[in-house]
Amino acid sequence: MEYPKRSRHGDAGEYLMAYTFTKLFGWPCRLYGVDIGVDGETEVMDANGKSDGDIIKIQVKSFSAMQGTDFSVYVDERHIQYWKRFCLPVIVCAVDLSTEKVYWKQITATEAYATTGESKKVTFDLAKDELTAASKAALERLVLPDETKQLEPLMAELMEKSKRIEQDLHHFDYDAIESTLEHCRGMNKLISQIETIVTHFPWRLSAAGYGALWAIKQNVRITQNDADHEHAMMVNGG
């Protein structure tokens, strides 16, 4: 039986990546037996070695040697789109087998990763993107970015405000209509804040959260349209 060079390199890179994560941070790293777009995951642990279930997905690319100041890894566009849709943060790790160094880069929802061809590329700065003990804080921020800390209270406020429009309010005078429109404007502001956060950090909102956000947006739109229609009817003497 033969063990092809490509398989040897791929396996060595994955094992080295997993070893490096566990050695540097004390985090468990699980490698998948089947590669369907990600090779493994690491679980972020707190200072006491306990987990809150925060996971980072990892795709590994292994190379005999990585030279220069920048090094680009070319991947299919379908992989980029798959990673962007993930409900968890995804990083790509490039492994230099000659130096046994691991480099990492987060896949973000807003980056284009454009090239002149059909494939996409993830570019590593070999001076800045090496996985070291100093990378720990940045990796921890992936699972709970500072910008997302307001997401839960914003969603809670939006859900509370949505109770009013779910009561199928009827408008009988101008003041009531204006009050409803002002309420909708406030909800739209909250929706905009939430959407800004999840555009950059889509994994911070659950599938149920996305469903609730979509339903509330539809209710706000319908309520605004109804209130605008009633206002126009009053102005025109309808």
pLDDT at 168: 54
**What pLDDT is attached to residue 169?**
56
Looking at the structure, do residues 67 and 106 belong to the same domain, yes or no? yes
pLDDT means over runs of 10, the chain (238 residues): 80 94 96 85 91 91 94 90 87 96 92 78 95 96 82 93 72 77 92 90 84 93 85 70
Of 109, 128, 144, at which residue does a domain stop? 144
What range does the domain containing 173 cover?
147-235
Q: How many domains does the chain have?
A: 2
- In a shared domain, residues 44 and 133: yes
Say if residue 10 is in the same domain as residue 118: yes
| 3-state secondary structure labels for all residues of the chain | CCCCHHHHHHHHHHHHHHHHHHHHHCCCEEECCCCCCCCEEEEEECCCCCEEEEEEEEEEEEECCCCCCEEEEEECHHHHHHHHHCCCCEEEEEEECCCCEEEEEEECCCCCCCCCCCCEEEEEECCCCECCHHHHHHHHHHHCCHHHCCHHHHHHHHHHHHHHHCCCCCCCCHHHHHHHHHHHHHHHHHHHHHHHHHHHCHHHCCHHHHHHHHHHHHHHHHHHHHHHHHHHHHHCCC
